[in-house]
Structure 1
Amino acid sequence: MQLILASTSPYRKELLTRLHIPFQTARPDADETPLPGEMPETLALRLASLKAESLADTFTDALIIGSDQVATLDDIVPIGKPGTVDQAKSQLRAASGRTVTFYTGLSVFNSANGQQDALVDRYEIQFRNLTDAEIDRYIELEQPLDCAGSFKSEGLGSALFARHQGADPTSLIGLPLIALCSLLQKHGMKVL
């Protein structure tokens, strides 16, 4: 059975490569617009499932992995990818001394039999109080313009944190590998 990653994210691709399982990537077809009143956890789960399901007609005998991430400030205000240096500075100033919560939705869809298992991994980052000079230097060095919350936890972003808490730090990068191994096992694919 093929393994398909329903994502074009280089971060998710790099994470899945760590498992040493052959896989392909494909661009999912999913409208990522939140539904009215949709909570971040629900949105992440729905989009992860939708992304996996969107490739079922293309890959009819595959395990398809969908993942989506929603970040919030103080578990209320949604945070996206900054896209610009000014927006990254604004996001990091807002996060200074506060908590950013990441909800990473994960779905494994078996296109041969229609079975799907999905979950959401919650991970919290408590930022230390940051100076403007630290924020400027961090952005200059790391260029986190394509990362939700304007930081890369796998790099220098750790210098921004007071603490972090969660079951799987890879969920911060966009694909919770611990949970993924369990879901793949459930679908008959052994990682080891």
Structure 2
Amino acid sequence: MSVRLVLASASPARLQTLRSAGVEPEVIVSGVDEDNITAESPGELARLLATLKARAVVANLTDHGTVLGCDSVLEFDGVAYGKPGTPDVARERLRAMRGRTGVLHTGHCLIDTNAKQELRELESTKVFFADLTDAEIDAYVATGEPLVVAGSFTVDGLGGPFVTGVEGDYHNVVGLSLPLLRRMLAQVDIAWPELWKTTSTYTYDEDVAYSYDDTRGGLPRAQAAAAAVDSLLPKGGRVLELAVGTGIVGAELVALGNLVHGVDLSPAMLQHARLRLPGHVLAADAATLPVADRRCDAVVAIWLLHLLDDSEPVIAEVARVLRTDGVFITTTEKTDASRYADGRVPTDARSQDALSHLVATAARHGLVLDGATTFPGPTRNTGQTPLYTLTRFRRT
């Protein structure tokens, strides 16, 4: 019988850790609110949060599975540091931590519904921080990365050069201890190699993904799109890009100072996106996002909605994950841009990215039209250059 491993976490780093080890889990986000939960120690807090996440996902399963919940907390001077949330808090923490040592606790809770067992474990790893300058701290905080990770740092991302060493399991600092997970699985009679057999087999043509960028305007088009998106984005927030594709636009948004996570359905596309956005992309359907309610400051969809038969499920998900005053930025009227560039006459049939359709659909989900801009695409064989429209909706 195949193993159904469910990861009860939205963390791209945890998902990537499992994938790098040959495991393709199913991702279901728990939606547990971490802010109002306390425990007697930082380690116990990490274990409690992991348990609550796993139990919340199990409660909504419609079939048996093995659910893994994880949560990380940095202990520094006896205090539990989760996600800082604001630049000022992140800056203050990094200044306190520089040149010193903390302990990264990751709680693990494994619930196997077939065996009817719940296992709760904690892995702790010492982390040694570099003696950062104020300028380095300010630059790091400006990237947005430390705002959304436990302890205000990463070891597998932009913060890697600021960690001089670890004592213990490196993967635990990323967010999930593979050796501990292997031992926990053995207690419910699941051998680690069995998980390799459950890795999904994909059939998407890799050749299409390999040539995708070059056949669609390449870097110049991506840079033009990213600059236009950036002009409409709030600064310093978490950006989720739907249909991230090869990550070419997302990487340009990062270069402009944004913290970007991406989702896509195509594993072949994601192979390329992981090189451009390491640890920040995962496989997911834009209509069923593995993100808790009200967690994103911005959602971006470039050349997606015109491909859909029905854009409303995606817009409903966007509204669900956006914070109040968060923004949804999407290309609109792409079909018409292509028609005009090809010298064709618009038909009466309207695409799912038609602005009139989107305004009405967005309004049903608490999104209001809030701004727009344009950017040029690559010049076509006809000598005409399509002008793409970006439209911004704000969550009320």
Q: With the length of structure 1 as denominator, give the TM-score of the two structures.
A: 0.86
Larger helix share, 1 or 2:
2
Q: Deviations over 1:44-81 (max 9, x none)?
A: 1122122112222333411100111111212x122121
Which among 45, 63, 68 is matched to residue 65 of structure 1? 68
Q: How far off its partner does 1:169 sit?
A: 0.9
Of 11, 16, 19, the residue aligned with 2:18 is 16
Instruction: Give the alignment of 1:35-46 within 5 angstroms.
Output: 35=38, 38-46=40-48
Aligned length: 189
Does the 8 Å CA contact 1:12/1:174 hold for their aligned counterparts? yes
Q: Which moved more, 1:145-154 or 1:22-31?
A: 22-31
Q: More deviation in 6-15 or 156-165?
A: 156-165
Which residue of the partner structure matches residue 91 of structure 1?
A: 93
Structure 1 runs not aligned, ≥5 long: none
Q: Following the alignment from structure 2 to structure 1, what is the Cα–Cα distance between the partners of residues 162 and 154?
A: 10
Residues 162 and 27 from structure 1, CA distance in 2 versus in 1: closer, same or farther, beyond 3 angstroms?
closer
One-letter amino acid matched to 1:87: V
Gaps of 5+ in 2: 194-396
Matches of 2:152 and 2:125 in 1, distance apart?
Answer: 16
* Structure 1 counterpart of 2:112: 110
- With over 3 angstroms needed to count, the CA separation of the structure-2 counterparts of 1:126 and 1:19, relative to structure 1, is closer
CA distance in 2, matches of 1:49, 1:143: 26
| Higher RCO (C-alpha 8 Å, min separation 6) | 1
Partner SS for 1:54: helix
User: If you compute each CA radius of gyration, which structure gives the higher value, 1 or 2?
Assistant: 2
**Does the CA-based 8 Å contact 1:142-1:156 persist in structure 2?**
no
Identity %: 34
TM-score between the two structures when normalised by the length of structure 2: 0.44
Q: Distance in 2 between matches of 1:156 and 1:134?
A: 11
Other-structure match for 1:124: 126
What amino acid is the match of 1:68? D
Q: 136, 139, 143: which one pairs with 1:137? A: 139
Asked if 1:185 corresponds to 2:186, the answer is: yes
**Residue 140 of structure 1: CA displacement?**
4.4
Partner of 1:101: 103
**1:41 partner SS:** helix
Q: 1:30 to 1:114 in 2, by over 3 A?
A: farther
Q: Distance between the aligned counterparts of 1:44 and 1:176, measured in 2?
A: 13
Provide the residue aligned with 2:289 in structure 1.
none
Question: Aligned partners of 2:22 and 2:132: how far apart in 1?
Answer: 38
Residue of structure 2 in register with 1:50 after alignment: 52
Q: Check 1:143–1:29 CA distance in 2 against 1; reply closer, same or farther (3 A cut).
A: closer
Please report how far the alpha carbon of residue 13 of structure 1 lies from its aligned counterpart in structure 2 after TM superposition: 1.5
State the alpha-carbon separation in 2 of the partners of residues 127 and 21 from structure 1.
31
Q: Distance in 2 between matches of 1:143 and 1:172?
A: 15
Q: Summarize deviations over 1:76-125 as a string: whole Å, max 9, x none.
A: 12212123333322111011122221110011111123212221011111
Residue deviations 1:148-183 (CA, integer Å, cap 9, x gap): 2222101342322343212x1111121111211222
CA distance in 2, matches of 1:61, 1:140: 43
Q: Distance in 2 between matches of 1:54 and 1:15?
A: 22
2:6 counterpart SS class: strand
Q: Secondary structure at the match of 2:57?
A: coil
Partner of 1:3: 5
CA RMSD of aligned residues (A): 2.1
The answer to whether the Cα contact below 8 Å between 1:21 and 1:191 also exists between their aligned partners in 2 is: no
In the alignment, the residues of structure 1 paired with residue 44 and residue 56 of structure 2 have an alpha-carbon distance, to the nearest angstrom, of 18
Question: Partner letter of residue 185 of structure 1?
Answer: A
Cα distance in 1, alignment partners of residues 69 and 54 from structure 2: 4
SS of the aligned residue for 1:119 comes to: strand
